Every structure is written in structure tokens, then in C-alpha cells.
Structure 1
């Protein structure tokens, strides 16, 4: 049976607040954390504006230190409240949380390293859990499954695109020559990639009629191949119509999230979820 909130010890209660969004306290904690992350990112952006930094440097510095200390306390509490701390420390979110905490401390050793706190933007990935959008979490899991299933096809497609760019770049080098900016084959391949992806920086442009004809073909080809990876992933997604019903429950042992509804055990470490 699931333990009542009143019967939880302080570690379990702390874990419920920090790692889960099913309770009022847990959701409040995550919303406050979300605003702190956004505030920190805004502070870094304002600090990069020289005129603003000169006028409000003290305020920006103190504010950033306050947020850094709060994040440091939060990180320690996350480690303390879990049964297997190393599982969290070396997890994706654990590494992101650490990287978002240490830059300000590194500023004592490395100049301008505090700008790395912009990495805190990655913590906004928790927004799905914070807002308890379980159906979107399930949809994102379905997309990841489709991407994994189609990775071989996408790899073959990308390999084909690379070969096409090498061939077309070499042809353009032969057609246009150095006098028109195609000074070597690597630079010509760079032009082919830029043109095929429809970016078109305009630093190199074909001058001969044949070169312009080839460039036109490449641009049309670029538009046609954009849809291929999307089609590959879409076909994989249609193969599995089963909705992955996930929730925000976090394992007390390894901090793994996105468990299926009514799951009794963690799919990663096997620990009982409601123990």
C-alpha cells in the first residue's frame, strides 16, 4: 500500500517535494525553481550588456550569488534525499544540475566562466514534469522510440547527402574554377552543402551558365530532401499506436522518472515505487 504523507520520514517527504509534482508542495517547489532558473538566465543576459552591467554590476552580482547558493542547497538536498545518490549524480539531470551550479564558483579561478550559467536553460526541460503534462511526456517518449527505430535509415540518408555534396562540389570546382571563387574542392563542397540546405550565405556564387544551372538543380533538390527524415520518423510513429501513459513519479532509489501509470516497481532499478 502507498504510504500516507503523514507517515513519511523527513527523507521521503523531502524526496516527494523535490522529485515529484503530484503534491501541492512538490508543484510549488518546481514552479519556484522554474522562476529562479529563468531569473538567473535573464541576469546573465543583462550582465553581457556592458552599459547595463556598469550601472547595476553590484545588484547583478549579488543576485546571481543568491541564486547560485539556492541552487547549491537544492543540489545537496537532491543528493541527500535519494537512496542511491550516485544514480542521480551521474544521471542526465544530475549532471545538468551540477553544471548549472558550479560556473559562479569557477569565476574565482577562470575569468568570465560565470557566463556558463546559461547552461541553466537546460534545466527548463523539467517544465513537462513541473506542469504535470503526462500526456505530453508520453508523446515525447513515443517520439524518442520512433527516432531510435529510424536512426539507421536516417544515417543512410545523411551518408547519401554527404556523398551528393562531395560529387556536386567537385563538379562545381571543375566547372567554375578558381576565378569564380571555387578555389579548391573543400570550399566547393562547403558551397554545395550551403546551397543544398537552402541556407545560401552568398559568399560564393556561380558565374557560368552551366554552374548556375547546376546550382538551380541543387536548390530544388535541397527542398525535396528536407521532407525525407520527417517521413522516415512519421512512418515509424504510425507503426506503434499504443499511447505511453506516463506519470511524474520518481524512483526513491535512482531518481528515474516517467513511470507508467499504476507501476509498482521502477523500470530502471527494480525498486518498489511506493515502499
Structure 2
């Protein structure tokens, strides 16, 4: 859903909107930086509070800090909604959901003990730093990776189906070979072993004890090493394809028809023809440029005559 963020009124609401949702003024930048610092501090408090030794020593401090952050974030969310024209639309957006989740667990903890652990999702709000710092280059790189992943979904999905097929075959074989005392009490348990072995993790909680089972394990591990490069290669190929599409234009040269030029190129790589058909070659003489403009005017006039409906 495309989120249209607009102020809900004049005066105080517009001023609050400029500070909270924009980042091109000193006040707005200061607010965003302070917000990021509070988010990071609140996430740090949640993580430290999960350590038993720290919780026993500074538990009361963590408790009051957490409530302070929650009240501050609740007020900030209320102001965000107050200054928007369509607050409900914002609440249904990604950042709106994250803002609600950032304050909801502490209030829920009054009813459901232990809900504070969900506060770790506040780290998602740090994504606002891309808007604050205007890191458009990194945003562009992120879009390139997302587009590459989207293109690679079908071959990767086919690869995963193949892996699941292999895992099921290996699991069935090891279930028939190994005794139940070794831990292979069912095919689903054997599938767990096959996945752990194929991915070369090797927890060691279930291991084959027969020579035939150990030989099968070696085959599974070697298979894992041999196929691990497949999804990496597919994704890398799509990344390279996306980079090429970002770098090169499909516009054909009017002179020779070559269509693989870098974006922003002014002359054809093959024949040296000027590529921009909307303007004359700056290296032409004044007479030649004047002739080019005359020819362009005649072409435009002919096109307009051709589009004129019959009387």
C-alpha cells in the first residue's frame, strides 16, 4: 500500500508534521537523531534486562527506564497520529505497525507477564535512519538486491524442492539401515538428521552406528558440499544481471543500431554517432546545428499534420 503522508491541518499540526516526518530542517534532524538514540537505548535496556546477573543488580532501574521509554514512545506515536491527515492509514503501514508494537508489550505486561521480551522489535524503528541520513545510494543497492532475489525465486524454489526430495530419500534409507537405539525412531526423525547432515551442521545428537549408515552419512555430507553453491550461483547471476540493467541502456544507436550503451553515454561505442535524438551534437558547426533544428521542426510539423483529423 502506498502511504500518502500529509499534515492534517495548519498551525501546530503542520509544525509538528515538519519536525516528525521531515528531515530537512535542524529541528527535524535533531528530533530524528534523538529518536534513534532513544530506540537504541531502549533496545539495550531490554537486552541487559534479559541477563540474570544484571537484572538482579539493576532490575529496578531497568524497570523505570523501560516505562520511561514506553511513555515517551507512546506520546511520540500520539503526536504522529495527531498531525496526520489520515492517521488510520499510517497505522496500517509498516512503520505504523512497528510504532504500535514498540509500545504495546509494556502495556500488555500489566496483564500478560513476560510480554516485555517483544520490545526487541523496537530495533526495526532504526530503519528510519535511511530517511534521516538520506542514504539513497544504499537504498538503491537494497532495491537491486531485492529485485535480484525476486528473479531468483523460481530457480531457488525448484532447488529447495530437489533438496527436500534428496532429504526424504536419504532419511528413508538411514531409517531402514540404522537401529532405533541409535535415535532413528521414525522417518521424520531421520529427516531431521538428513537436513542437519546435508547442511554440514552436524549437531551429533543423532549419529549412525553401522558402517553402511556411516557410509551413507559421508555421501550426504559430500552432497551438501557439492550443492551448496547452487543457490549462491543463481542469486549471484541475478545480481550481475540487475547491475547490468542498471548500468546499460536498451536504447539503440540511430546510426548502427547497437543497443548496449552505458546509461549517460553520449556517443555510440561502435560508430561514434551522437545518441541523444532530442538535441544536436555539440561538436557540430553552427550551420549544421541550425540545419538539424530546421529538420527537427519539419519533422514535428509533418507529425502534427499526420495526427490532424480529417475535416
TM interval, shorter chain, is: 0.7 to 0.9
Shift of 1:9: 4.7
Q: In structure 1, what is the equivalent of residue 206 of structure 2?
A: 204
Map 1:50-69 to 2 at 5 A.
Answer: 50-69=52-71
How many residue pairs were aligned? 237
Shift of 1:68: 0.7
The answer to whether the aligner puts 1:189 opposite 2:191 as a matched pair is: yes
Runs of 5+ in structure 1 lacking a partner? 1-7, 245-275
Question: What is the CA–CA distance in structure 2 between the aligned matches of 1:20 and 1:153, rounded to whole Å?
Answer: 41
Shift of 1:105: 0.9
Cα-to-partner distance string for 1:89-143 (whole Å, 9 max, x where unaligned): 1111111110011111111111121222112122223333333211001110111
Question: What is the CA–CA distance in structure 1 between the aligned matches of 2:11 and 2:145, rounded to whole Å?
Answer: 38
Map 1:110-125 to 2 at 5 A.
Answer: 110-125=112-127
Shift of 1:54: 3.4
Under a length normalisation based on structure 2, what TM-score does the superposition of the two structures give? 0.70
The answer to whether the aligner puts 1:42 opposite 2:44 as a matched pair is: yes
Match of 1:150 among 149, 152, 167: 152
Cα-to-partner distance string for 1:41-64 (whole Å, 9 max, x where unaligned): 121222223343333333222211
Cα-to-partner distance string for 1:229-260 (whole Å, 9 max, x where unaligned): 2222222222233559xxxxxxxxxxxxxxxx
Q: In structure 1, what is the equivalent of residue 130 of structure 2?
A: 128
Higher relative contact order (CA 8 A, sep 6+): 1
Cα-to-partner distance string for 1:16-44 (whole Å, 9 max, x where unaligned): 33223333333222221111111111212
Query: Could you tell me whether the CA contact under 8 Å between 2:178 and 2:208 is conserved in 1?
Result: yes
- In angstroms, what is the RMSD of aligned CA positions? 2.1
Q: In structure 1, what is the equivalent of residue 231 of structure 2?
A: 229
Cα-to-partner distance string for 1:127-167 (whole Å, 9 max, x where unaligned): 33333211001110111112122222221111111111111
Q: In structure 1, what is the equivalent of residue 106 of structure 2?
A: 104
Question: What is the CA–CA distance in structure 2 between the aligned matches of 1:196 and 1:185, rounded to whole Å?
Answer: 16
Q: In structure 1, what is the equivalent of residue 26 of structure 2?
A: 24
Query: Could you tell me whether the CA contact under 8 Å between 1:103 and 1:113 is conserved in 2?
Result: yes
Q: Structure 1: which 4+ aligned runs deviate by more than 6 Å?
A: none
Note closer, same or farther for the CA distance 1:22–1:55 as it changes in structure 2 (3 Å cut): same
The structure with the largest alpha-carbon Rg is: 2
